[in-house]
A and B are shown apart, each in its own frame.
Chain A
């Protein structure tokens, strides 16, 4: 049934639907920001969400960071020693992690662990009418449920990315210095000499903050907007993971092109 008119019509309706959803998400984001002041004044709620999303992702992020560091150590040494500059291993490992791999991989892991959990939680609250019940008790679910989870994600993300990078550098050191035998002193001193706080560490933190905001927003929106059935919630969880991954990678390109355009 390849009817071109039908195809065109479907394409059009998909697009209209997409744009409508984007508009809805923007308005939702506006409502989240608008309610942030009052909700953040009740900071224990947000602290609790930082704790939950942080603890949920902590182990997986530390273990992954270690493995990524181990691989960087192996690959980096293999390439650098071709040019006789194996003592730069520390620099290479640290820069790769702080600028790119730390923020990006930690955010991807965060999205699939904590992001999906946030969507599931809010989606189930919606499906079991908990959000409606809250609203009937004159408590705004956006302020009470959504905002603390959003800010919890935004704040937890840079901390987790930093941990990821730290574990990665430790992994690189394990392979490079302990296993292969690169000079311990030059590993650290070269790293200290080449990594700039303002350029590398700070930009990496800005990245993970932006990724945290994107993932947290997608996660709370998909949960809040999910169809209130078991099937609808499971579809929303899938969308959170997929959309987050795309958003992280696209945002990473945009941010990188602003932050590191070959000036150093």
Chain B
């Protein structure tokens, strides 16, 4: 059972200059599945993805991707691993000085010696898969948010990765684009036989497309389960998240001294 997981995260810890962000994360990401990681803004979701991709060195614990421990790899090992990974950044991160076509062709040109005609065919196929073959000559700054996200998606899967990571793929999209991206994530994963990790706080969309969900709060996994289990969960945290309640285990107020002290504290002094 253990062997069918592509990514193992064991007791992962990460600090930003002494400020703890991840405080002992444990997860297994099974092969072929689409997994969502959810949590409030600033809870460390992006940090977790960047640890898996080897861009950040964990302070403790370990991450194993496809049998290899990320934190013990050297730079060339990490680069070799990343060639089998695709990542969609929160705002697409398209290269602004290249056309849509060149953006998608970029990983192919950098990592293969394919002839130009083959590169062209591959790029057009990827663009076709995200429905943007007709936009190949546009520059990124003339794309809408949803289109830019789809181009970035095509670029992320250009080398047919076995692991695709999505950092908040739904943020800032209208409901139609949001549905389109959600369907694409599912379809691309199944078509490529890949494994996908999606960081998001869009519960409703995720419940429709993913196989498994982890909830993170205060640097730890606080709940996990399949969409069905999550929908019927009685866990107060999950309940707050799924039903978008303002107050609950995730407090509305950040930690502070009692308001009476703050407002009238000066009089005592």
Query: A residues bordering B, Cβ < 8 Å?
Result: 121, 124-125, 128-130, 132-140, 144
Contacts and interface: CB of A to CB of B under 8 A. Distances in A.
Contacts of B80: 138
Contacts of A139: 106-107, 110-111
Nearest to A131: B93
Interface stretch (B58-66, B82-90, B194-202, B206-214): B82-90
Contacts of A121: 97
B237 interface: no
B110 A133 contact: no
Contact of B107 (A124, A125, A128, A137): A137
Given A128-B96, A129-B89, A136 B110 contact: no
Contacts of B95: 125, 130, 134
B90 A129 contact: yes
A134 B82 CA distance: 11
Given A132-B55, A133-B87, A138 B82 contact: yes
Contacts of A137: 82, 106-107, 110
Contacts of B78: 138
Q: Which 3 A-B pairs have the closest CB atoms?
A: A133-B93, A138-B82, A138-B79
A139 B78 CA distance: 11
Q: Is the interface of A mostly helix, strand, loop or mixed?
A: helix
Contacts of B82: 136-138
Given A133-B93, A134-B95, 8 more contacts: A128-B93, A128-B96, A130-B95, A132-B55, A137-B106, A138-B111, A139-B107, A140-B79
Nearest to B152: A133
B53 interface: yes
Contacts of B79: 138, 140
A48 to B, nearest CB: 10
Given A124-B96, A128-B96, A130-B96, A136 B91 contact: no
Contacts of A135: 55
A129 B106 CA distance: 16
Contacts of A133: 87, 89, 93
Contacts of B53: 136
Interface in B90-139: 90-91, 93-97, 106-107, 110-111
Contacts of A130: 93-96
